[in-house]
Structure 1
Amino acid sequence: MVKDYFFRDERSAIINEDLFATTKIAQDSIDLVVTSPPYNVDIQYNSHNDRITYAEYLEFSAGWMKRCHGWLKPEGRFCLNIPLDKNKGGQQSVGADLTTIAKEAGFSYHATIVWNEGNISRRTAWGSWLSASAPFVIAPVELIVVLYKDSWKKTGGTRESDITREEFMAWTNGLWTFNGESKKKIGHPAPFPVELPLRCIKLFTFLEDTVLDPFMGSGSTLVAARQCRRTGIGIDIDPRYCEIAEGRIENNEGKTGNVS
């Protein structure tokens, strides 16, 4: 029997359920969804098959995005962290394809932020070395696609922002540069840094808004939400990842917020 919540206090809620099955989130109740879904590049998650066909992956993506669309308020925003493309298992235009699927799910497009992780260690293949025969072109960046439900202009909520002048000037530039997160340090196979959701939260929500991460993983979004006086809700099917997220919340991880 699934217990009510894996963890819950006045600022955070962890739901250890399948995002397609949970009934704990009301329709039209979320101000911002910020997430990094599985990339389908054969990452060894405990409770998710990250090696399905690309057609199956796109179908899976359409399903979870439709759920998120229903959970968002009419003025709700959606920050989708995805790769620009991939070559593992075949060359695929992941960023373009998932942006199209998001629009088919009912979202409207606003902008794309390019995240330069400053990490080229992922480069393990060049195709035809020093030859025009069949070289691989790999961009060491990811995307944060910014979408919205019905209206981009936000009029509800407290209308109180906590973003500084320096942060606003830097973060409205669509090229963000900061490092990724360490798998070994966090204990999760694909963590993203708190810096990513923190920027999205401060830029696109007001104080006391509610933020959802449907692929919570190690809990970076919930950590960021607590630091910014927002309510964070995370969903994850794996109990071990829920434990990691709860531990990070209870340890009150240090605040970030680089302006580059």
Structure 2
Amino acid sequence: MISNISKLTPFFTYKNTAVFNESVLNKNCFKAEFFDLGITSPPYNVGIEYNSNDDALGYKEYLKFTQLWLKNCYFWAKDRARFCLNIPLDKNKGGAQSVGADIISIAKSVGWKYHSTIIWNEGNISRRTAWGSYKSASAPYVIAPVELIVVLYKNEWNKNKGKKEKGNDDISKEEFIAWTNGLWTFNGESKKRIGHPAPFPRELPKRCIKLFSFIDEIIFDPFCGSGTTLIEANTNNRKGIGLELDINYCKLIKERISENDGLL
């Protein structure tokens, strides 16, 4: 599988999973059109202390960075691929910005088509760090304790259109009915427990994988972080490919995948 999509040597491989210690800004990481479903949570640009990434860019510079990686991912996506982006609705730190709307606009400008937005009500989220003018109409801050999971696709939405054979689904009736409701409520993940400054919980990629992909398809995470997307791809009988810029997080991903399969 690896030789068919990249000339680079992965940091490690396991079963149908591979992690590359590379930057998503490098278009030459992969050949065109290799993944069926992308799932990622890119840097939010709110000053999180990653080891190898500047998370405090000027907003214009951040949007330029966003355009570059979204364009590369579009180049790497198969026809009819889907892309699930876990991004903030907005932000106040460093000046109020409509981050979600801006990222969606950029994604459409590079070729992605918009399908829908899932609202993730993160049950244990804590965002009340600033009230603005408390109990006064002078200058209050309004903060929505939710995040977005934006669902995009390349060219056409219907994966089976024009095909003689249908894909192999593994989603139950109960899961399908519950998850096609665009309000998802589950807790976030513990930074301390995982050992990464911005992990998302396994429930997020699990739902996206089972709802938007078939068994044996390729799942891609361009900001692999702690490897949660790849763990769920492996658990749910998909192939997983990830990019991670920081070597220490690559080691963390390897450790977590091994632990999940009972190898450690």
TM-score, structure 1 normalization: 0.94
Other-structure match for 1:208: 216
Q: Post-superposition shift, 1:26?
A: 2.1
Q: Post-superposition shift, 1:9?
A: 2.5
- The superposition leaves residues 11-57 of structure 1 with CA deviations (integer Å, 9 ceiling, x where unpaired) of 21000011222634221111011100000000000000000100000
Other-structure match for 1:191: 199
One-letter code aligned to 2:37: L
Distance in structure 1 (CA, Å) of the matches to 2:128 and 2:247: 32
Q: Post-superposition shift, 1:187?
A: 0.4
- The reply on whether 1:246 has 2:254 as its aligned counterpart is yes
Other-structure match for 1:42: 47
Change (3 A) 1:235 1:194: same
Other-structure match for 1:217: 225
Distance in structure 2 (CA, Å) of the matches to 1:40 and 1:24: 24
One-letter code aligned to 2:247: P
Distance in structure 2 (CA, Å) of the matches to 1:121 and 1:41: 15
Other-structure match for 1:127: 132
Distance in structure 2 (CA, Å) of the matches to 1:7 and 1:190: 22
Distance in structure 2 (CA, Å) of the matches to 1:187 and 1:218: 8
Distance in structure 2 (CA, Å) of the matches to 1:101 and 1:22: 18
One-letter code aligned to 1:89: G
- The reply on whether 1:182 has 2:187 as its aligned counterpart is no
**SS of the counterpart of 2:28?**
coil
One-letter code aligned to 1:201: I
One-letter code aligned to 1:32: L
Q: Is the 8 A contact 1:223 1:253 kept in 2?
A: no
Other-structure match for 1:258: none
Percentage of matched positions with identical amino acids: 59
Q: Post-superposition shift, 1:105?
A: 1.0
Instruction: List structure 1 runs of 4+ shifted beyond 3 angstroms.
Output: none
Q: Number of aligned pairs?
A: 252
Within a 5 Å distance, the mapping from 1:19-168 to structure 2 comes to 19-21=24-26, 23-155=28-160, 159-168=167-176
One-letter code aligned to 1:11: N
Larger CA deviation: 148-157 vs 204-213: 148-157
Q: Is the 8 A contact 1:158 1:207 kept in 2?
A: no
Decide which of 231, 236, 254 is 1:228's aligned counterpart: 236
**SS of the counterpart of 1:77?**
strand
Distance in structure 1 (CA, Å) of the matches to 2:9 and 2:243: 13
Change (3 A) 1:120 1:31: closer
Q: Post-superposition shift, 1:158?
A: 6.4
Which runs of 5 or more structure 2 residues have no equivalent in the other structure? 1-7
Distance in structure 2 (CA, Å) of the matches to 1:22 and 1:238: 18
Other-structure match for 1:18: 23
Other-structure match for 2:180: 172
Distance in structure 1 (CA, Å) of the matches to 2:135 and 2:14: 57
**SS of the counterpart of 2:117?**
strand
Q: Is the 8 A contact 1:158 1:208 kept in 2?
A: no
Change (3 A) 1:214 1:120: closer
After superposition, the CA RMSD in angstroms is 1.4
